[in-house]
Amino acid sequence: MTTAAPPRAPALSPSRAADFRRCALLYRFRAVDRLPETPSPAALRGTVVHAVLERLHDLEPGARSGDAARALAHEVLDALEPDDRALLGRDPGVDALLARYLDLEDPRAVTSEARELLVEAELDDGTPLRGVLDRLDTGPGGLTVIDYKSGSAPPVRGELRALFGVRFYALLLARARGVVPTVRLLQLGDATTLTLRPTADELGRFAGVLRAVWAAILRAAPTGDFRPNPGPGCAFCAFRDRCPAQGGTLPPYPGPPPAQGTAVLLPLPRPRSGEPT
């Protein structure tokens, strides 16, 4: 007999915090209503690549060859549901992303402490944070958070969004472990990397941003006052038919989350739709 896992307390994750900053109603649809989304091919491809790289780094270092990566890719693709497999088409594009990954680093030389690591921490005022790290490496330079991105390096206007994730992970580790890590984004779309170690001042300012986001969510949650914020991102939004700003019909608010419940803010391990990760 299996026992259901106890519910996690609400917490702020990088994806949902970014959603709220982009559009509070988008946040509501994903985190409170928890509406299903059909993944885009790019998002699904990213999910497959993440699964392959997690398994690759679970192997002994000497076994992490290109052939092993490609064999794992076939395993992961074969395990997909038929609809998901069809979504990726005849050429899923996974091998090309793995080839670029192998251009960026030699997996046999990597020393990682954990893969798909759930980390939780609180800010001084109790704002709860939660995130899942793709990989946490250890080495002479300290801790390095590795974040795989299946898209290309962000254009200038996308850089702020990328930096949001970098700062979130750095702050999360700093609060959980007491050390500021380096954060490295591996952009598999064009085989580039972005490596940063935010300063203490930067993290202090960023903590203020997250406190404000959390406070705004808590203010909106009792009544459901999550307002739409139309912008270019609406073109990728899966909820246009439910969005009043797009002429859609807003569904009834499912109600405030239980005080110790599961309804809001749980991080999704992987994005379910939209742009490439």
Q: How far is the CB of 166 from ligand SF4 (least distance, A)?
A: 23
Q: How far is the CB of 28 from ligand SF4 (least distance, A)?
A: 8
Q: How far is the CB of 242 from ligand SF4 (least distance, A)?
A: 7
Closer residue to ligand SF4 (CB): 80 or 250:
250
Closer residue to ligand SF4 (CB): 172 or 265:
265
Closer residue to ligand SF4 (CB): 170 or 220:
220
Closer residue to ligand SF4 (CB): 26 or 171:
26
Q: How far is the CB of 211 from ligand SF4 (least distance, A)?
A: 23
Q: How far is the CB of 241 from ligand SF4 (least distance, A)?
A: 9
Enumerate binding residues for ligand SF4 (CB under 6 A). Answer: 23, 25-26, 228-230, 233-234, 237, 239-240, 243, 245-246
Name the residue among 201, 210, 200, 198 with its Cα closest to residue 126. Answer: 210
Q: Which long-range contacts (CB under 8 A, 24 or more apart) does 98-102 make?
A: 98/49, 98/52, 98/66, 98/69, 98/70, 98/73, 98/188, 99/66, 100/188, 100/189, 100/190, 100/191, 101/49, 101/53, 101/69, 101/148, 101/186, 101/188, 102/66, 102/69
Closer residue to ligand SF4 (CB): 106 or 241:
241
Closer residue to ligand SF4 (CB): 104 or 245:
245
Q: How far is the CB of 235 from ligand SF4 (least distance, A)?
A: 9
CA distance 72 to 54: 10
CA distance 230 to 22: 9
Name the residue among 148, 160, 169 with its Cα closest to residue 276. Answer: 148
Q: Which residues contact 17 (CB under 8 A, 6 or more apart)?
A: 164, 168, 210, 213
Cβ 119 vs Cβ 107: under 8 Å: no
